[in-house]
Amino acid sequence: MKIENLEIIDITEQGQGVAKKDDLVYFVEDVVIGEIVNIEVKEKKKNFFIGKKTKTVKSSPYYIESNCKYSKECTGCSLLNTEYSRQLELKRELVKNQISRIGNFNIEEINIKGLENPYYFRNKIELKVDENYNIGYYIKKSHKLVPIEKCLVASKTINNMLEKLLELIKKYELKGYNRKKNTGIIKNITIRSNYLDEIQLTITLSKDKFKNKEEFVNEIFKIEEVIELYFSINNRKNSEVMGEKVKQYFSKKEFTDKIGELEFKISPKSFFQVNSLNTKNLYDIALKQMKLKGRENILDLYCGIGTTTLYFGRNAKTAVGVEIVEDAVKDANVNKKLNNINNVEFVLGKSEEKIEKLLDNNIDIVIVDPPRKGLDKKLVDILGKSKIKKLEYISCNPATLSRDLKYLQEYGFKLKEIELCDMFPHTMHVETIALLQRVD
C-alpha cells in the first residue's frame, strides 16, 4: 500500500517520524521533521502503520546534509540530517509531552544545555566484527553490520584507533562471531578514550585461546595510546557486550578520566557518562538545583564508580553512594582516595534493598540516577513513606521519569525544577535533571 504527501509532524524517542492522515497514524524511518514524503506501508498494526519512505515530495526547512557517509545505512544517529538547534527543540518537546501525558505535570518552559560542536564527543563506543574482518555497528534490531572507518560522534582518539585495530584484525585473521553458525572469535570491541587521549581496549571473545594471540597482544601493546588491554570471554551462543569475567592483559598505567577537577579510575564494566563535553554541565545543573550549603547528608543511589557521590559530596557534610556492581564500588573507593575526599563512603548492593537502613542516617537529600527502567516501585514507596524532603532525579528516560514523578507526587513531592542536558546529539535521547521537594 502506497501513501502520498504525508507531512512528518513529530519524531518519536526511537527517532521515527510521525505522520497523520485520515485519522490514521504512520511511523516512518529516515525522515526529518517538516518533510513531506511518499511512503510504502511495510507493516500494519492495530492502531498504526509502519512505512518506508519512497520519495521526498518537499524537503524540510530543518534539513541539513549529513557529514557522515554511513548515515543512510547506520541507524545509530537518526537525526544527523536535522539542524542541531531543531534537535534540541525536539528533545525539549518530547520531555514536556511525556511529563504532561504520563506525569500530569504542566511545564511551560524547560532549558536545555546543548553542545557548541555536536561531534566527536563520545568517549566510549561498542563495535562488532564480521566474518570478512570488517569493523562497524549493527543496524538497529539486527545482526547486519555496517562497516565503518570513522565515526563522527566518537572522539578523535577513538577514530585514530579504528584504523590501527582494523589492520591488526585483518593481519591476524580474527573473524567476527556468527551466532547462527557458532563460528568466529570476536564478539565485541569496547574502546574508551580519556582527556589525555589514551585508550582502554576491551575485546570480548567467544573463547580464550586463538591463533597468534601473544603476537596480537604484543602488537596492541606497541600502539602508544593504548594503555590498558582486557579480554572478556563469553562462550554462550549470543553476542553480549562482555562476559562475566574480564581479564587484564596489560596496563601501562591506570586508565582514568576527569569531570571538572575530579579524576576517576574506570574499569571496563563500570558506567561512566559517555559525553566528555557535557558531563560537567549535567552535574553542575544538579548542583545548582540542590543549592548545597555544606551541612547536608546525601544518599546517592545507583552511584556507579562514585562520580556523582564525589562531585556532589565534596559540597556536603557527608555522602553515601550505593551501587550493585562490585567492580564499580572498588573503583569508587579508589576514586575517593584519588581525589582526597574523606566525607564519602560507598555501599555494595541493590539500592532498593539498602535504602531503608541508610535513610536512618539523618539523610537530607536523596539523589537517584537509575538505569532506563527507572526506579523500582518498592524504592519509590520507601522514599514516599520516609521523612526525606528533597530528591534530585537524574534520568536518561523521560517516560520512566514521568511515571516515577507521578508516583512520588502521591506522597507529597512537588516538581520544583527541571532542566535538560544533551548528552546524545543526533538521537532523541536526552538527560533530564529534576528537583522534587516535599512541603509540610
Which positions are catalytic?
396
- Angle of helix 213-222 relative to helix 156-171, nearest 10 degrees? 150
Q: What is the DSSP secondary-structure string of 426-438?
A: TSS--EEEEEEEE
Task: To the nearest 10°, report the CA torsion of 158, 269, 267, 211.
Answer: -70
Nearest to 193 by CA among 274, 283, 303, 128: 274
Residue 179 cell numbers, joined:
551466532
Q: Are 241 and 126 in contact (CB under 8 A)?
A: yes
Query: Would you say how long the chain is, in residues?
Result: 440
Nearest to 228 by CA among 267, 258, 263: 267
Alpha-carbon gap, residue 163 to 366, rounded angstroms: 45
Other Cβ atoms less than 10 A from the Cβ of 1: the count is 9
Cβ neighbors of 106 (< 8 A, separation 6 or more) are: 100
Q: Are 137 and 76 in contact (CB under 8 A)?
A: yes
Percent helix, strand, coil in the chain, to 5, is 25, 30, 45
Instruction: Assign residue 222 a region (left: φ > 0; alpha: ψ between -120 and 50; beta: otherwise).
Output: alpha
User: How remote is the C-alpha of 48 from its chain's centroid?
Assistant: 29
Q: Are 217 and 205 in contact (CB under 8 A)?
A: no
Residue 319 cell numbers, joined:
555522602
Alpha-carbon gap, residue 124 to 145, rounded angstroms: 19
Q: In the β-sheet with 24-28, what is the strand arrangement from edge to edge?
A: 2-7, 36-44, 49-58, 24-28, 17-21, 10-11
Q: Are 45 and 24 in contact (CB under 8 A)?
A: no
